Amino acid sequence: MRLAGARVLVTGASSGIGAATALELSARGARLVLSGRDQEALADVAARTGGEMLPADLSDPSADLAVRAGRVDVLVACAGEGWSGPLARMSGGTAERMIAVNLTAHVQLTRLLLPGMLERGRGHLVYVASIAGVVGVREEAVYAATKAGLLAFAESLRYELPAVDGNGVGVTAVVPGVVDTPFFARRGRPYTRRRPAPVAPERVARAIAVAVERDRAEVYVPAWLRLPARLHGAAPGAFRVLARRFSP
């Protein structure tokens, strides 16, 4: 799908991967609709990209972002929240909010935006998940579950919405590893490991743009993450042994 001239809704556009994606897509000629909670940061991204601002808290069911956005050719679901620590110490409200923002909101957005895409015969849906959703991560059970749900949602839609020769609605799942964004500070525990080294959010943004233009079903950033993902799928017992050994 051509990004030039396409109307693209980016959630979580006020920082991190979402902000980097907005800048990348703007450089490729997309017309942007930017959603995020931090209005000041969102205004800065809008000023740099010429995008339309739609501030929204995706944990609030009354924030009807799809109606406000109008026609959308491409949805890039970047918004997400994390929390790190033992599950027994997590509050119910934290779990509910994370599920709402990371998964439920994007399922509902898709449900509302998809009929228009199908009517026009074209569109693309991008879901930014995480390697945590593929292999699981210690003390991030709820976050990993929301990202696993997003991956399963994307895979199921891919069977339902085949895009053939550039016609129809394409679906892409993006699986980043550690990305250098404010996410880790906000989850309550900074990233302190030397390896793997965090990648720049701009690298993920470029992968998203290329995936839309080339209709790629699945993208890992960095690409070597496919190896642990495949090992987990092929030999989960061996993967768990290694994970326990090398987990901090």
Amino acid at residue number 138 = R
**Annotated catalytic sites, by residue?**
143
Query: Counting every residue, how long is the chain?
Result: 248
For the record, the structure tokens of 149 come out as: 């749900």
Q: Shortest CA distance to 124 belongs to which of 210, 22, 59, 34?
A: 210
Q: How far apart are CA 32 and CA 34, in angstroms?
A: 6
Q: How far apart are CA 119 and CA 197, in angstroms?
A: 43
Alpha carbon of 133 to those of 92, 108, 192, 224: distances in Å? 20, 20, 20, 16
**Chain centre to alpha carbon of residue 21:** 11
